[in-house]
């Protein structure tokens, strides 16, 4: 297709502001200017707000994703890895440490997992922050190092490099200060461009909804999941999405070092059931989508076996060492009954809170817990801030359990500042106790969106980039 002269930036902004459809060349012009620094910050901000207010047509969203991916290096893999390169992405949640056991479990099943992760803003840390609580772990790896680690270990968990999708790094930071973080087209392009730059065969997205998620309702989360799955498949990746509840914390440990410990417990075939479910089911779909398993259920069984036999744990130790952790440190962490705090820093203070009445634990609200932990230093309010990896919380009771008044239900780990009375009140209010009979908490997974026309475990090509819903 032939294109005319590129629009000026004011004209491009006006066009999107007025709800008109941008051409591929318009978007290419904008992204090149962002990457090269030839556009003013105020113009980037105006464009982002225009997108936030007016949205984007599907073809615009695809063009934006393609141009962002192409703004830097697109990773290439050897032919022998064809069909094996997979990854997952989560929209974030309290206690979400799924990536830590999942990546090595997939590697133990023969996949290659170049997991490019992020840091946390607000609440507690992101995947990179959790891993950096392990002494020596380096998230900074160049393309050559990534290739070597994948070849020798099968998985790596790294930060976004200067070479990979540099346009996204600039736009992501700008969105944070222009109140455009929640724009569906901008979220979609940001998530998918990074994964497409990994040259993946298959991608599973964990889109969370609920009181402690970016999207509070199932309908709004489903709209995002649909957008991600559609664009992911249009970009040539076999893409599916899980819609998962995010009201209660995932697992029993919240906070960076504590979540590493719980991940290690999962890798040893132990740990909380909800974390294991998310790891095995996410992995099961990925194994099926890259045809390592006949069905998602078969794939889940394969992932569970790597956890129970220790093969995923051995991959995790190898990944730690490949990314800078000394052998003795990695070995101590991965020992069967190791004392984790011989390696990980322990908070100076611990305090146990007790239930103020008898009854059944109806829910444990994740957001108030996360907000208090953020105030104590477990998270950051702006990029570059230091966090305290030892700050965290342990849940001592489970949802659905009947407890007596005075039962210990929460152990807080903190340094300075110390826990204040107002924070204790907030934490106590997060424990919701009712008179209902005891019950077993159900699955966190509500729906699965898969590419329409996809036959699990078969060789059928995708018939379209739309999706179908599978109700759980």
| Average pLDDT taken over every residue of the chain | 91
Q: Are residues 37 and 84 in the same domain?
A: no
Q: For residue 172, what is the domain's CATH number?
A: 3.40.1030.10
Q: Are residues 293 and 152 in the same domain?
A: yes
How would residue 459 be classed by pLDDT, with cut points 50, 70 and 90? very low
Look at 158-167, 250-259, 306-315 and tell me which has the smallest mean pLDDT: 158-167
Q: What pLDDT, on the 0 to 100 scale, is given for residue 173?
A: 84
Known catalytic residue at 420: no
Classify residue 185: in a domain, yes or no: yes
Q: Are residues 394 and 331 in the same domain?
A: no
Q: Please, are residues 213 and 243 in contact by the beta-carbon 8 Å criterion? A: no
Q: Are residues 144 and 244 in the same domain?
A: yes
Q: What pLDDT, on the 0 to 100 scale, is given for residue 162?
A: 80
Classify residue 2: in a domain, yes or no: no
Q: Please, are residues 134 and 341 in contact by the beta-carbon 8 Å criterion? A: no
State how many domains the chain has.
3
Known catalytic residue at 89: yes
Q: Is the pLDDT assigned to residue 213 strictly greater than 60?
A: yes
Q: Is the pLDDT assigned to residue 472 strictly greater than 50?
A: no
Look at 118-122, 162-166, 298-302, 428-432 and tell me which has the smallest mean pLDDT: 118-122
Known catalytic residue at 190: yes
How would residue 259 be classed by pLDDT, with cut points 50, 70 and 90? very high
Q: Please, are residues 266 and 98 in contact by the beta-carbon 8 Å criterion? A: no
Catalytic residue chosen out of the listed positions 99, 133, 190, 467: 190
Known catalytic residue at 424: no
Catalytic residue chosen out of the listed positions 29, 169, 175, 315: 175
Catalytic residue chosen out of the listed positions 88, 112, 123, 194: 194
Q: What pLDDT, on the 0 to 100 scale, is given for residue 302?
A: 98
Q: Are residues 147 and 214 in the same domain?
A: yes
Q: What pLDDT, on the 0 to 100 scale, is given for residue 458?
A: 31
Q: What pLDDT, on the 0 to 100 scale, is given for residue 453?
A: 40
d(CA 189, CA 192): 5
Segment 365-383 mean pLDDT: 89
Segment 402-408 mean pLDDT: 98
Q: Are residues 188 and 318 in the same domain?
A: yes
Q: Are residues 460 and 328 in the same domain?
A: yes
Q: Is the pLDDT assigned to residue 121 strictly greater than 70?
A: no
Look at 87-96, 170-179, 202-211, 440-449 and tell me which has the smallest mean pLDDT: 170-179
382 phi and psi angles, rounded to 5 deg = -145, 155
Q: Is the pLDDT assigned to residue 452 strictly greater than 80?
A: no
Classify residue 61: in a domain, yes or no: no
344 phi and psi angles, rounded to 5 deg = -90, 145
| Residue 197 structural domain | 79-336+447-471
Q: What pLDDT, on the 0 to 100 scale, is given for residue 355?
A: 98
Q: What pLDDT, on the 0 to 100 scale, is given for residue 364?
A: 98
Q: What pLDDT, on the 0 to 100 scale, is given for residue 122?
A: 55
Classify residue 69: in a domain, yes or no: no
Known catalytic residue at 415: no
Q: Is the pLDDT assigned to residue 185 strictly greater than 70?
A: yes
How would residue 56 be classed by pLDDT, with cut points 50, 70 and 90? very high
Catalytic residue chosen out of the listed positions 26, 168, 206, 274: 168
Catalytic residue chosen out of the listed positions 52, 88, 89, 276: 89
d(CA 294, CA 292): 7
């Amino acid at each position: 297709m032939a294109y005319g002269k590129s629009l000026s930036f004011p004209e491009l902004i006006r066009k999107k502001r007025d709800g008109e459809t941008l051409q591929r060349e318009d978007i290419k012009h904008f992204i090149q200017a962002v990457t090269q620094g030839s556009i003013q910050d105020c113009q980037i901000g105006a464009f982002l707000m225009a997108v936030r207010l007016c949205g984007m047509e599907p073809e615009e969203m695809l063009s934006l994703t393609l141009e962002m991916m192409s703004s830097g290096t697109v990773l290439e893999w050897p032919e022998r890895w064809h069909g094996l390169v997979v990854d997952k992405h989560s929209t974030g949640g309290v206690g979400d440490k799924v990536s830590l056991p999942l990546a090595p479990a997939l590697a133990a099943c023969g996949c290659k997992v170049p997991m490019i992760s992020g840091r946390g803003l607000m609440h507690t840390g992101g995947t990179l922050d959790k891993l950096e609580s392990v002494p020596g772990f380096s998230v900074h790896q160049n393309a050559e190092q990534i290739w070597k680690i994948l070849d020798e270990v099968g998985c790596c968990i790294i930060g976004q490099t200067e070479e990979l999708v540099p346009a996204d790094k600039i736009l992501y930071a700008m969105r944070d200060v222009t109140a455009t973080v929640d724009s569906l087209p901008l979220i979609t392009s940001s998530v998918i461009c990074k994964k497409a730059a990994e040259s993946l065969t298959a991608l599973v997205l964990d889109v969370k909804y609920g009181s402690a998620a970016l999207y509070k309702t199932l309908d709004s989360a489903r709209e995002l999941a649909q957008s991600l799955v559609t664009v992911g498949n249009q970009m040539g990746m076999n893409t599916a999405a899980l819609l998962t509840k995010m009201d209660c914390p995932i697992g029993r440990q919240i906070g960076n070092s504590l979540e590493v410990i719980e991940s290690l417990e999962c890798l040893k075939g132990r740990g909380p059931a909800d974390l294991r479910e998310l790891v095995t089911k996410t992995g099961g779909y990925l194994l099926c989508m890259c045809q390592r398993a006949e069905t998602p259920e078969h794939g889940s069984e394969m992932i569970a076996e790597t956890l129970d036999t220790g093969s995923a744990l051995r991959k995790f130790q190898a990944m730690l060492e490949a990314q800078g952790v000394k052998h003795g440190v990695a070995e101590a962490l991965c020992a069967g009954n190791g004392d984790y705090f011989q390696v990980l820093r322990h908070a100076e203070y611990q305090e146990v809170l007790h239930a103020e009445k008898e009854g059944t634990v109806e829910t444990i609200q994740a957001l108030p817990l996360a907000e208090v932990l953020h105030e104590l230093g477990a998270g950051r309010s702006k990029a570059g801030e230091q966090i305290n990896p030892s700050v965290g919380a342990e849940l001592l009771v489970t949802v659905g359990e009947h407890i007596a008044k005075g039962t210990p239900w929460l152990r807080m780990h903190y340094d300075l500042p110390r826990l204040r009375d107002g924070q204790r009140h907030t934490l106590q209010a997060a424990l919701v106790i009712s008179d209902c009979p005891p019950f077993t908490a159900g699955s966190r997974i509500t729906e699965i969106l898969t590419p329409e026309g996809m036959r699990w475990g078969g060789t059928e090509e995708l018939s379209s980039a739309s999706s179908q819903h599978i109700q759980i």
